Amino acid sequence: MADPAELDARKKKIILISVIKECLSKPVNTPAVLKRKLGQLDTDFSEDLRFSEAVKYLKDGKKPRVQNYLSLTVSRYSPDDFKSRFRISRQSFIVLENHITPIIAAFRTRNSCISYQKQILIFIYYCGTQDPLIRIADIFGTCETSVFDIIGKMSQLINRHLLKKFIKWPSGDQVQDVFHGFERTRHFPKVIGALDGTHIPIKTPKKDGEVYINRKKFHSINVAAVCDHQMMFTFVCVGWPGSTHDSRVFKNTKLGIACENIEKRKDFFPEKCHILADSAYELNEFVMTPFKDNGALTKLEKDYNFYHSSTRMKIENAFAYLKGRFRRLKYIDMHDPQRLVEFITSCFVMHNICLLNSDTVEEYLNDGEIEEPPAQEIEADRDADVTAVAKRRAISGLLSVFN
């Protein structure tokens, strides 16, 4: 017959195990409950090494975490090690830090006890991985709530203070630089940018979730963006639900409205230039699209489509670099629509900061290649403006000399 004392110890150990499991499965808002349960046990398990760390957690309300990761580990990373873990170069990080630190310092928050450098690294690490908040918190020696708050605050500050600084439409001498840059690609004249839409997979929103379901049947945010010949984003519109057609998203942006407004278009389309877009968009004087392939295209039209596609490829590569570097954009586990918009936009800003510092890696291009919902083509160009049709014909003729 078993010793009653031994049975009692086993029983209490089973209780402790159940408490530990509860701790691990519900790490938020449970310390007080766990302490109370621990108080019901009058046996000390401190000599049992298997439970010592768990007992310490239950008594202190804290989990074991990596200590001094920033000061002892990150500071010793080689440039390649730093980039492989944070997906940006140390130089890009320094530039971002120099811009963000004075802004953070002006705001007193409950995370003020966390160094500015650590807050920025936490945010960058979150952007570059799909790690859950609990893992990021453990790595940086903080709690999930702090990580959550830092992500929201950093996204907000980048949107308010860096967005207009780093995502700008070409102006002045930059216009000619962009023209020449695109012409060097495939001879296409007077291109001010390449336009396309991309879908960012998201968690099912709590409100109106069905409108976020795209043609691939997953929830997403539809983003419209324009980039230049160097894959720098010059225009970004974030926030439309995934079910919205690319053409409709564009028409409701400042850029799309400018195409229809004589007064506003001069700010975007100097020298009667244009952007390139695929067949999901409507042809107009300032948006050049390919000829619709109905099986009877002429050689002139096929050649035009080839030069058009080869030049417009810049925007597809820009999206691939963006998503390859900031892998969080492959799926974002957020409910708050405003928080989603600010976070996605901040990734576009950081993309430009990286390119300005020659921070790019070909592997990101491959990492960022994900299957997009198929473009819903505009039926035909029969309703297109006569001026737009004539302009496309004229460009076709100009390009024919390069065949």
Q: Are residues 112 and 124 both part of a single domain? A: yes
For the full predicted model, state whether its pTM sits above 0.85. no
Q: Are residues 121 and 194 both part of a single domain? A: no
Q: Could you tell me which of 247, 250, 244 has the C-alpha nearest to residue 212?
A: 244
Q: Are residues 104 and 248 both part of a single domain? A: no
Q: Are residues 258 and 387 both part of a single domain? A: yes
Q: Are residues 141 and 225 both part of a single domain? A: no
Point out the domain boundary residue: 101, 133, 161: 161
Q: Are residues 156 and 170 both part of a single domain? A: no
Structural domain span for residue 39 = 4-60
Q: Could you tell me which of 35, 81, 57, 203 has the C-alpha nearest to residue 130?
A: 203
Decide if pLDDT at 77 tops 50.
yes
When divided into structural domains, the chain yields a total of 3
Q: Show Cβ contacts of residue 54 under 8 Å, excluding neighbours closer than 6 positions.
A: 16, 20, 23
Q: Are residues 248 and 111 both part of a single domain? A: no
Q: Are residues 208 and 257 both part of a single domain? A: yes
Per-residue pLDDT tens digits for 249-302: 999 999 999 998 888 888 999 999 999 999 999 999 999 999 998 889 999 999
Decide if pLDDT at 50 tops 50.
no
Per-residue pLDDT tens digits for 142-188: 999 999 999 999 999 999 999 999 999 999 999 999 999 999 999 99
Going by the DSSP 8-state scheme, the letter that residue 78 receives in this structure is: -
Decide if pLDDT at 374 tops 80.
no
